[in-house]
Protein backbone atom coordinates (compact mmCIF):
# COMPACT_ATOMS: atom_id res chain seq x y z
CA UNK A 1 0.00 0.00 0.00
CA UNK A 2 1.74 3.22 -1.10
CA UNK A 3 1.31 6.34 0.99
CA UNK A 4 -1.90 5.34 2.83
CA UNK A 5 -4.17 8.12 4.05
CA UNK A 6 -3.52 8.57 7.77
CA UNK A 7 -6.20 9.85 10.11
CA UNK A 8 -4.55 12.29 12.41
CA UNK A 9 -7.42 13.66 14.48
CA UNK A 10 -10.24 12.25 16.59
CA UNK A 11 -13.13 13.46 14.50
CA UNK A 12 -11.83 11.96 11.24
CA UNK A 13 -11.16 8.66 13.04
CA UNK A 14 -14.69 8.74 14.43
CA UNK A 15 -16.21 9.44 11.00
CA UNK A 16 -14.23 6.62 9.47
CA UNK A 17 -15.32 4.18 12.19
CA UNK A 18 -18.97 5.12 11.64
CA UNK A 19 -18.53 4.61 7.90
CA UNK A 20 -16.81 1.24 8.32
CA UNK A 21 -19.39 0.00 10.83
CA UNK A 22 -22.33 1.14 8.71
CA UNK A 23 -20.87 -0.70 5.72
CA UNK A 24 -19.94 -3.93 7.47
CA UNK A 25 -22.45 -6.79 7.63
CA UNK A 26 -22.28 -8.94 10.72
CA UNK A 27 -22.49 -12.70 11.09
CA UNK A 28 -24.55 -13.28 14.23
CA UNK A 29 -22.93 -16.36 15.68
CA UNK A 30 -25.53 -17.29 18.31
CA UNK A 31 -29.26 -16.72 18.09
CA UNK A 32 -32.49 -18.56 18.83
CA UNK A 33 -34.04 -17.48 15.53
CA UNK A 34 -35.37 -19.78 12.82
CA UNK A 35 -35.99 -19.28 9.12
CA UNK A 36 -39.49 -18.50 7.79
CA UNK A 37 -39.67 -22.04 6.42
CA UNK A 38 -39.89 -23.21 10.04
CA UNK A 39 -43.27 -21.48 10.36
CA UNK A 40 -44.64 -19.13 13.00
CA UNK A 41 -46.47 -20.18 16.17
CA UNK A 42 -50.09 -19.58 17.02
CA UNK A 43 -50.14 -15.97 18.33
CA UNK A 44 -52.64 -16.88 21.02
CA UNK A 45 -50.58 -19.64 22.50
CA UNK A 46 -48.27 -18.58 25.31
CA UNK A 47 -45.60 -20.66 26.94
CA UNK A 48 -44.16 -23.78 25.40
CA UNK A 49 -43.12 -24.38 21.82
CA UNK A 50 -46.01 -24.50 19.39
CA UNK A 51 -45.80 -27.32 16.83
CA UNK A 52 -47.05 -24.93 14.16
CA UNK A 53 -43.84 -22.99 14.06
CA UNK A 54 -40.74 -21.61 15.68
CA UNK A 55 -40.04 -18.22 14.13
CA UNK A 56 -41.10 -15.53 16.64
CA UNK A 57 -41.71 -12.00 15.36
CA UNK A 58 -43.81 -8.89 16.00
CA UNK A 59 -44.88 -6.70 18.90
CA UNK A 60 -46.41 -9.24 21.26
CA UNK A 61 -43.45 -11.60 20.96
CA UNK A 62 -41.05 -8.70 21.49
CA UNK A 63 -42.87 -7.57 24.63
CA UNK A 64 -43.15 -11.05 26.13
CA UNK A 65 -39.38 -11.68 25.74
CA UNK A 66 -38.24 -13.34 28.94
CA UNK A 67 -35.85 -10.49 29.77
CA UNK A 68 -38.96 -8.25 29.97
CA UNK A 69 -41.30 -10.65 31.77
CA UNK A 70 -38.81 -10.85 34.64
CA UNK A 71 -38.77 -7.05 34.90
CA UNK A 72 -42.55 -6.84 34.66
CA UNK A 73 -43.16 -9.35 37.41
CA UNK A 74 -40.87 -7.33 39.71
CA UNK A 75 -43.00 -4.25 39.33
CA UNK A 76 -46.50 -5.55 38.65
CA UNK A 77 -46.28 -8.11 41.45
CA UNK A 78 -49.16 -10.24 40.27
CA UNK A 79 -49.04 -13.97 41.08
CA UNK A 80 -46.87 -15.86 38.59
CA UNK A 81 -49.64 -18.29 37.72
CA UNK A 82 -52.01 -15.44 36.95
CA UNK A 83 -49.48 -14.02 34.51
CA UNK A 84 -48.85 -17.33 32.76
CA UNK A 85 -52.59 -18.01 32.46
CA UNK A 86 -53.05 -14.80 30.47
CA UNK A 87 -53.07 -14.80 26.66
CA UNK A 88 -49.94 -13.52 24.95
CA UNK A 89 -51.83 -10.34 23.98
CA UNK A 90 -52.77 -9.65 27.60
CA UNK A 91 -49.26 -10.41 28.82
CA UNK A 92 -47.85 -7.96 26.26
CA UNK A 93 -50.40 -5.33 27.37
CA UNK A 94 -49.33 -5.75 30.97
CA UNK A 95 -45.63 -5.52 30.08
CA UNK A 96 -46.28 -2.32 28.12
CA UNK A 97 -48.35 -0.74 30.87
CA UNK A 98 -45.94 -1.74 33.64
CA UNK A 99 -42.59 -0.96 32.06
CA UNK A 100 -43.41 1.75 29.51
CA UNK A 101 -46.42 3.64 30.87
CA UNK A 102 -46.29 3.36 34.67
CA UNK A 103 -42.48 3.39 34.71
CA UNK A 104 -39.65 4.82 32.64
CA UNK A 105 -38.09 2.17 30.37
CA UNK A 106 -34.43 2.52 31.36
CA UNK A 107 -33.41 -1.14 31.30
CA UNK A 108 -31.50 -2.40 28.26
CA UNK A 109 -34.28 -4.81 27.25
CA UNK A 110 -36.89 -2.06 27.55
CA UNK A 111 -34.74 0.38 25.61
CA UNK A 112 -34.49 -2.31 22.96
CA UNK A 113 -38.24 -2.09 22.45
CA UNK A 114 -37.94 1.69 22.11
CA UNK A 115 -35.22 1.29 19.46
CA UNK A 116 -37.41 -1.11 17.46
CA UNK A 117 -40.52 1.09 17.65
CA UNK A 118 -38.47 4.10 16.68
CA UNK A 119 -36.93 2.43 13.63
CA UNK A 120 -40.43 1.70 12.30
CA UNK A 121 -41.66 5.24 13.06
CA UNK A 122 -44.03 4.06 15.81
CA UNK A 123 -44.96 6.14 18.86
CA UNK A 124 -42.49 5.30 21.63
CA UNK A 125 -44.76 7.03 24.20
CA UNK A 126 -48.01 5.38 23.12
CA UNK A 127 -50.51 4.70 25.92
CA UNK A 128 -51.16 1.20 24.57
CA UNK A 129 -50.10 -1.25 21.86
CA UNK A 130 -52.85 -0.51 19.31
CA UNK A 131 -50.63 1.30 16.81
CA UNK A 132 -47.74 -1.16 17.15
CA UNK A 133 -50.06 -4.15 16.70
CA UNK A 134 -51.68 -2.61 13.63
CA UNK A 135 -48.23 -2.03 12.15
CA UNK A 136 -46.95 -5.56 12.72
CA UNK A 137 -50.25 -7.12 11.61
CA UNK A 138 -50.00 -5.25 8.33
CA UNK A 139 -46.55 -6.64 7.51
CA UNK A 140 -46.05 -9.51 5.09
CA UNK A 141 -43.59 -11.81 6.79
CA UNK A 142 -41.32 -12.41 3.79
CA UNK A 143 -40.72 -8.72 3.07
CA UNK A 144 -40.61 -7.75 6.72
CA UNK A 145 -38.04 -10.46 7.37
CA UNK A 146 -35.72 -9.12 4.66
CA UNK A 147 -36.26 -5.57 5.86
CA UNK A 148 -35.23 -6.50 9.40
CA UNK A 149 -32.05 -8.18 8.17
CA UNK A 150 -31.26 -5.11 6.04
CA UNK A 151 -31.83 -2.63 8.86
CA UNK A 152 -29.77 -4.69 11.30
CA UNK A 153 -27.14 -5.28 8.60
CA UNK A 154 -26.95 -8.94 9.46
CA UNK A 155 -25.67 -11.20 6.68
CA UNK A 156 -25.99 -14.49 8.49
CA UNK A 157 -27.32 -15.98 11.72
CA UNK A 158 -26.59 -19.20 13.51
CA UNK A 159 -29.63 -20.99 14.93
CA UNK A 160 -29.64 -23.07 18.11
CA UNK A 161 -30.76 -26.57 17.13
CA UNK A 162 -31.65 -29.31 19.57
CA UNK A 163 -31.21 -32.71 17.92
CA UNK A 164 -33.63 -34.26 20.45
CA UNK A 165 -36.48 -31.83 19.76
CA UNK A 166 -39.15 -33.63 17.74
CA UNK A 167 -41.00 -30.45 16.79
CA UNK A 168 -37.86 -28.98 15.33
CA UNK A 169 -37.10 -32.19 13.52
CA UNK A 170 -40.56 -32.31 11.96
CA UNK A 171 -40.38 -28.68 10.87
CA UNK A 172 -36.96 -29.32 9.39
CA UNK A 173 -38.16 -32.31 7.41
CA UNK A 174 -41.12 -30.29 6.10
CA UNK A 175 -39.00 -27.28 5.13
CA UNK A 176 -37.87 -27.52 1.56
CA UNK A 177 -35.65 -24.50 1.42
CA UNK A 178 -33.98 -22.98 4.43
CA UNK A 179 -33.13 -19.30 3.99
CA UNK A 180 -29.49 -19.14 2.90
CA UNK A 181 -28.68 -16.68 5.71
CA UNK A 182 -29.30 -19.37 8.34
CA UNK A 183 -26.74 -21.89 9.57
CA UNK A 184 -27.39 -24.57 12.14
CA UNK A 185 -25.55 -25.39 15.34
CA UNK A 186 -25.74 -28.62 17.27
CA UNK A 187 -26.80 -27.72 20.81
CA UNK A 188 -26.15 -30.50 23.28
CA UNK A 189 -27.72 -29.28 26.53
CA UNK A 190 -30.51 -31.79 26.32
CA UNK A 191 -28.08 -34.68 25.82
CA UNK A 192 -26.24 -33.65 28.98
CA UNK A 193 -29.38 -32.87 30.96
CA UNK A 194 -31.00 -36.21 30.17
CA UNK A 195 -27.84 -37.95 31.24
CA UNK A 196 -27.46 -36.00 34.47
CA UNK A 197 -31.06 -36.56 35.50
CA UNK A 198 -30.96 -40.19 34.53
CA UNK A 199 -27.43 -41.53 34.70
CA UNK A 200 -28.75 -44.81 33.35
CA UNK A 201 -29.41 -43.02 30.05
CA UNK A 202 -25.67 -42.88 29.44
CA UNK A 203 -25.36 -46.58 30.05
CA UNK A 204 -28.47 -47.58 28.11
CA UNK A 205 -27.58 -45.49 25.09
CA UNK A 206 -24.07 -46.69 24.62
CA UNK A 207 -21.42 -44.23 23.57
CA UNK A 208 -21.44 -45.81 20.13
CA UNK A 209 -25.19 -45.28 19.76
CA UNK A 210 -25.04 -41.64 20.82
CA UNK A 211 -22.11 -40.96 18.54
CA UNK A 212 -23.86 -42.60 15.61
CA UNK A 213 -26.95 -40.48 16.30
CA UNK A 214 -24.88 -37.28 16.34
CA UNK A 215 -22.89 -38.29 13.25
CA UNK A 216 -26.13 -38.78 11.41
CA UNK A 217 -27.52 -35.43 12.58
CA UNK A 218 -24.33 -33.65 11.57
CA UNK A 219 -24.41 -35.19 8.11
CA UNK A 220 -28.03 -34.14 7.59
CA UNK A 221 -27.97 -30.69 9.16
CA UNK A 222 -24.41 -29.53 8.50
CA UNK A 223 -23.89 -27.43 11.67
CA UNK A 224 -21.19 -24.77 11.89
CA UNK A 225 -20.35 -25.76 15.47
CA UNK A 226 -21.40 -27.88 18.42
CA UNK A 227 -22.53 -26.05 21.58
CA UNK A 228 -23.20 -26.53 25.24
CA UNK A 229 -24.15 -24.27 28.14
CA UNK A 230 -22.60 -25.10 31.48
CA UNK A 231 -23.18 -24.24 35.16
CA UNK A 232 -20.71 -22.26 37.29
CA UNK A 233 -19.41 -25.43 38.94
CA UNK A 234 -18.33 -26.93 35.62
CA UNK A 235 -14.94 -28.52 36.01
CA UNK A 236 -12.62 -30.33 33.69
CA UNK A 237 -11.51 -32.97 34.33
CA UNK A 238 -14.62 -33.94 36.27
CA UNK A 239 -15.99 -37.14 37.67
CA UNK A 240 -19.58 -37.06 36.52
CA UNK A 241 -21.77 -38.07 33.60
CA UNK A 242 -21.03 -34.73 31.95
CA UNK A 243 -17.31 -35.45 31.92
CA UNK A 244 -17.98 -38.91 30.51
CA UNK A 245 -20.10 -37.47 27.70
CA UNK A 246 -17.59 -34.75 26.96
CA UNK A 247 -14.66 -37.17 26.70
CA UNK A 248 -16.40 -40.06 25.05
CA UNK A 249 -18.93 -38.34 22.83
CA UNK A 250 -18.73 -34.57 22.39
CA UNK A 251 -14.99 -33.92 22.09
CA UNK A 252 -14.30 -36.91 19.80
CA UNK A 253 -17.27 -35.93 17.61
CA UNK A 254 -16.02 -32.34 17.35
CA UNK A 255 -12.59 -33.62 16.43
CA UNK A 256 -13.77 -36.13 13.90
CA UNK A 257 -16.08 -33.69 12.11
CA UNK A 258 -13.62 -30.80 12.51
CA UNK A 259 -16.30 -28.76 14.27
CA UNK A 260 -15.61 -25.94 16.69
CA UNK A 261 -17.06 -26.38 20.18
CA UNK A 262 -18.96 -23.46 21.73
CA UNK A 263 -19.08 -23.38 25.52
CA UNK A 264 -21.34 -20.95 27.38
CA UNK A 265 -20.35 -21.09 31.00
CA UNK A 266 -21.87 -19.81 34.22
CA UNK A 267 -25.64 -20.24 33.98
CA UNK A 268 -27.65 -21.37 37.01
CA UNK A 269 -30.87 -22.72 35.55
CA UNK A 270 -34.27 -22.38 37.23
CA UNK A 271 -33.23 -20.39 40.26
CA UNK A 272 -36.86 -19.28 40.33
CA UNK A 273 -38.79 -21.92 38.35
CA UNK A 274 -42.00 -19.91 38.64
CA UNK A 275 -40.50 -17.35 36.27
CA UNK A 276 -40.15 -20.10 33.63
CA UNK A 277 -37.70 -19.01 30.88
CA UNK A 278 -36.91 -15.90 32.90
CA UNK A 279 -35.95 -17.86 36.00
CA UNK A 280 -32.25 -18.49 35.31
CA UNK A 281 -29.39 -16.69 37.04
CA UNK A 282 -25.60 -16.76 36.94
CA UNK A 283 -22.53 -17.60 38.97
CA UNK A 284 -18.79 -17.05 38.78
CA UNK A 285 -17.23 -20.08 37.11
CA UNK A 286 -13.84 -21.67 36.87
CA UNK A 287 -11.81 -20.52 33.86
CA UNK A 288 -9.10 -23.11 34.54
CA UNK A 289 -11.52 -25.82 33.33
CA UNK A 290 -11.46 -24.14 29.90
CA UNK A 291 -7.66 -23.85 30.00
CA UNK A 292 -7.40 -27.59 30.63
CA UNK A 293 -9.76 -28.38 27.76
CA UNK A 294 -7.75 -26.17 25.40
CA UNK A 295 -4.51 -27.81 26.53
CA UNK A 296 -5.78 -31.37 26.21
CA UNK A 297 -7.54 -30.81 22.88
CA UNK A 298 -5.27 -28.53 20.83
CA UNK A 299 -6.92 -29.67 17.57
CA UNK A 300 -10.34 -28.39 18.62
CA UNK A 301 -11.28 -24.73 18.19
CA UNK A 302 -13.18 -23.50 21.25
CA UNK A 303 -15.58 -20.55 21.20
CA UNK A 304 -16.13 -19.52 24.81
CA UNK A 305 -18.28 -17.04 26.66
CA UNK A 306 -18.80 -16.61 30.40
CA UNK A 307 -21.95 -15.22 31.97
CA UNK A 308 -20.34 -13.65 35.01
CA UNK A 309 -18.69 -10.27 34.72
CA UNK A 310 -16.09 -11.50 37.21
CA UNK A 311 -14.81 -14.12 34.72
CA UNK A 312 -14.13 -11.75 31.82
CA UNK A 313 -10.57 -10.74 32.63
CA UNK A 314 -9.51 -14.33 33.34
CA UNK A 315 -11.05 -15.42 30.04
CA UNK A 316 -8.95 -12.85 28.17
CA UNK A 317 -5.81 -14.06 29.92
CA UNK A 318 -6.67 -17.70 29.14
CA UNK A 319 -7.14 -16.73 25.47
CA UNK A 320 -3.65 -15.21 25.44
CA UNK A 321 -2.32 -18.63 26.45
CA UNK A 322 -4.29 -20.76 24.00
CA UNK A 323 -4.58 -19.91 20.33
CA UNK A 324 -7.43 -22.46 20.03
CA UNK A 325 -9.57 -20.33 22.39
CA UNK A 326 -11.78 -17.58 20.95
CA UNK A 327 -13.73 -15.46 23.48
CA UNK A 328 -17.06 -14.30 22.16
CA UNK A 329 -20.04 -12.14 23.05
CA UNK A 330 -21.30 -10.26 26.07
CA UNK A 331 -23.89 -12.81 27.01
CA UNK A 332 -27.39 -12.22 28.43
CA UNK A 333 -26.99 -10.33 31.75
CA UNK A 334 -23.76 -8.82 30.40
CA UNK A 335 -25.49 -7.35 27.37
CA UNK A 336 -25.89 -3.89 28.91
CA UNK A 337 -24.06 -0.89 27.44
CA UNK A 338 -21.91 -0.17 30.52
CA UNK A 339 -20.69 -3.76 30.76
CA UNK A 340 -20.31 -4.29 27.00
CA UNK A 341 -18.17 -1.16 26.92
CA UNK A 342 -15.94 -2.39 29.72
CA UNK A 343 -15.54 -5.92 28.33
CA UNK A 344 -14.89 -4.78 24.76
CA UNK A 345 -12.19 -2.33 25.83
CA UNK A 346 -10.60 -4.97 28.03
CA UNK A 347 -10.56 -7.39 25.10
CA UNK A 348 -8.95 -4.85 22.73
CA UNK A 349 -6.29 -4.20 25.36
CA UNK A 350 -5.50 -7.86 26.01
CA UNK A 351 -6.28 -9.56 22.69
CA UNK A 352 -5.99 -7.01 19.88
CA UNK A 353 -8.75 -7.93 17.44
CA UNK A 354 -8.65 -11.69 18.08
CA UNK A 355 -12.10 -12.04 19.63
CA UNK A 356 -15.77 -11.90 18.58
CA UNK A 357 -17.24 -8.86 20.32
CA UNK A 358 -20.91 -9.77 20.30
CA UNK A 359 -23.69 -12.16 19.35
CA UNK A 360 -27.34 -11.14 19.60
CA UNK A 361 -28.96 -14.15 21.30
CA UNK A 362 -32.11 -12.87 19.57
CA UNK A 363 -35.24 -14.96 20.09
CA UNK A 364 -37.59 -12.62 18.26
CA UNK A 365 -36.81 -11.44 14.72
CA UNK A 366 -36.87 -7.66 15.31
CA UNK A 367 -34.50 -7.98 18.26
CA UNK A 368 -31.77 -8.16 15.61
CA UNK A 369 -32.42 -4.46 15.01
CA UNK A 370 -31.86 -3.22 18.53
CA UNK A 371 -29.27 -5.72 19.66
CA UNK A 372 -27.02 -4.89 16.72
CA UNK A 373 -27.73 -1.17 16.83
CA UNK A 374 -26.73 -1.04 20.48
CA UNK A 375 -23.74 -3.38 20.01
CA UNK A 376 -22.41 -1.36 17.07
CA UNK A 377 -22.53 1.77 19.24
CA UNK A 378 -20.39 0.20 21.98
CA UNK A 379 -17.95 -1.40 19.55
CA UNK A 380 -17.54 1.94 17.74
CA UNK A 381 -16.81 3.73 21.00
CA UNK A 382 -14.30 1.09 22.11
CA UNK A 383 -12.55 1.22 18.73
CA UNK A 384 -12.36 5.01 18.88
CA UNK A 385 -10.82 4.79 22.33
CA UNK A 386 -8.16 2.32 21.10
CA UNK A 387 -7.30 4.26 17.94
CA UNK A 388 -7.12 7.54 19.87
CA UNK A 389 -4.66 5.94 22.28
CA UNK A 390 -2.60 4.73 19.33
CA UNK A 391 -2.60 8.24 17.89
CA UNK A 392 -1.53 9.75 21.22
CA UNK A 393 1.36 7.31 21.33
CA UNK A 394 2.54 8.18 17.85
CA UNK A 395 0.74 6.00 15.28
CA UNK A 396 -2.14 7.16 13.11
CA UNK A 397 -4.66 4.63 11.84
CA UNK A 398 -5.76 4.42 8.18
CA UNK A 399 -9.28 3.84 6.77
CA UNK A 400 -8.10 0.52 5.31
CA UNK A 401 -6.94 -0.66 8.72
CA UNK A 402 -10.25 0.32 10.29
CA UNK A 403 -12.16 -1.64 7.64
CA UNK A 404 -9.88 -4.62 8.13
CA UNK A 405 -10.37 -4.58 11.91
CA UNK A 406 -14.15 -4.23 11.69
CA UNK A 407 -14.38 -7.04 9.15
CA UNK A 408 -12.41 -9.34 11.42
CA UNK A 409 -14.58 -8.51 14.43
CA UNK A 410 -17.91 -8.81 12.61
CA UNK A 411 -17.35 -11.95 10.56
CA UNK A 412 -13.71 -12.77 9.81
CA UNK A 413 -12.79 -14.28 13.18
CA UNK A 414 -15.91 -16.38 13.32
CA UNK A 415 -15.63 -17.60 9.72
CA UNK A 416 -12.02 -18.52 10.22
CA UNK A 417 -12.85 -20.38 13.42
CA UNK A 418 -15.62 -22.52 12.04
CA UNK A 419 -14.02 -23.23 8.66
CA UNK A 420 -11.51 -25.97 9.34
CA UNK A 421 -10.70 -27.32 5.88
O1 LIG B 1 -30.16 -15.17 26.53
C2 LIG B 1 -31.06 -16.00 26.51
O3 LIG B 1 -32.03 -15.86 25.78
C4 LIG B 1 -31.00 -17.20 27.41
O5 LIG B 1 -32.27 -17.58 27.72
C6 LIG B 1 -30.39 -18.43 26.88
O7 LIG B 1 -31.06 -18.85 25.72
C8 LIG B 1 -28.99 -18.51 26.53
O9 LIG B 1 -28.62 -17.56 25.60
C10 LIG B 1 -28.66 -19.88 26.00
O11 LIG B 1 -28.42 -20.03 24.80
O12 LIG B 1 -28.65 -20.81 26.82
ZN1 LIG C 1 -28.74 -18.28 23.73
Q: Is the CB of 229 under 6 A from ligand 1?
A: yes
φ/ψ (deg, to 5) at 94: -65, -40
Ligand 2 midpoint to CA 30 (Å): 6
Q: Which ligand is nearest to the CA of 276?
A: 1
Query: Is a pLDDT exceeding 70 seen at residue 136?
Result: yes
Confidence of residue 420 (pLDDT cuts 50, 70, 90): low
Average pLDDT over residues 66-77: 96
What pLDDT score was predicted for residue 202? Answer: 56
Higher pLDDT, 206 or 297: 297
Residue 199: predicted pLDDT: 59
* Per-residue pLDDT reduced to its tens digit, 339-390: 999 999 999 999 999 999 999 999 999 999 999 999 999 999 999 999 999 9
pLDDT at 2: 60
* pLDDT above 90 for 42: no
Q: Please check the confidence at residue 104 and state whether its pLDDT lies above 70.
A: yes
What is the per-residue pLDDT for 77?
86
Average pLDDT rounded to a whole number, residues 82-109: 98
- Of residues 141, 138, 113, the one with CA closest to residue 126: 113
Q: What is the pLDDT of residue 3?
A: 74
Query: Quick one: average pLDDT of 386-415?
Result: 98
Q: What are the tens digits of pLDDT across the range 314-345?
A: 999 999 999 999 999 999 999 999 999 999 99
Q: What is the mean pLDDT of residues 265-280?
A: 97
Give me the pLDDT at residue 204, please.
Answer: 55
Dihedral pair phi/psi, residue 370, rounded to 5°: -80, -35
30, 32, 276, best to mutate for ligand 1 pocket (most atoms within 8 Å of CB): 32
Pocket lining: 332 vs ligand 1, CB cutoff 6 Å: yes
Q: Residues with Cβ within 5 Å of ion ligand 2?
A: 361
CA of 21 to the centre of ligand 1 (A): 26
pLDDT grade, residue 206 (50/70/90)? Answer: confident
pLDDT at 43: 67
Q: Reduced to 3 states, what is the DSSP secondary structure of residue 186? A: strand
Rounded distance from Cα 366 to ligand 2 centre (Å): 16
Burial class (CB in 10 A: 0-12, 13-18, 19+), 160: buried
Q: E-assigned strands of 231-321? A: 260-265, 267-268, 281-282, 302-306
Average pLDDT, the chain: 94
Which has the closest alpha carbon to 30: 182, 218, 191, 189?
Answer: 182
Q: Is 196 exposed, middle or buried (0-12, 13-18, 19+ CB in 10 A)?
A: middle
Closest residue by Cα to atom 3, ligand 1, is: 361
| Sequence-distant (≥ 6) Cβ neighbours of residue 296 within 8 angstroms | none
State the pLDDT confidence band at 51, using cuts at 50, 70 and 90.
low
- Of 419, 404, 397, the C-alpha closest to 5 is 397
- Residue 367 CA to residue 383 CA, distance in Å, equals 24
pLDDT digits (tens, 9 = 90+) for 148-202: 999 999 999 999 999 999 889 999 888 778 999 999 999 999 998 877 666 555 5
Contacts of residues 251-257 at CB distance under 8 Å and 24 or more positions apart, as own/partner, are 251/293, 251/297, 251/300, 252/211, 253/211, 253/214, 253/215, 253/218, 253/226, 254/226, 254/300, 255/297, 255/299, 255/300, 256/215, 257/215, 257/218
Report which ligand 1 atom has the smallest distance to the Cα of 189.
12
pTM greater than the 0.85 cutoff: yes
What pLDDT does 174 receive? 85
Amino acid sequence: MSNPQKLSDRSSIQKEIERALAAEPVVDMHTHLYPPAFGTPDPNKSGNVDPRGLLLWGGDELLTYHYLTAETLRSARIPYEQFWAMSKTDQANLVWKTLFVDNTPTSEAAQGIISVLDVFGLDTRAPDLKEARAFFNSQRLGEHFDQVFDIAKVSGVVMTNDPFDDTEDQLWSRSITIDRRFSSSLRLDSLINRSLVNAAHVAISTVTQVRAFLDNWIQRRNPVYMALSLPPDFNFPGEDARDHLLREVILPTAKEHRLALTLMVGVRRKVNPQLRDAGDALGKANVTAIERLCLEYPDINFLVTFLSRENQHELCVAARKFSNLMPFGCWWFLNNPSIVSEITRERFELLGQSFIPQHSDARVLEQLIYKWKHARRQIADALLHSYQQLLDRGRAITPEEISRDVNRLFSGNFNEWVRQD
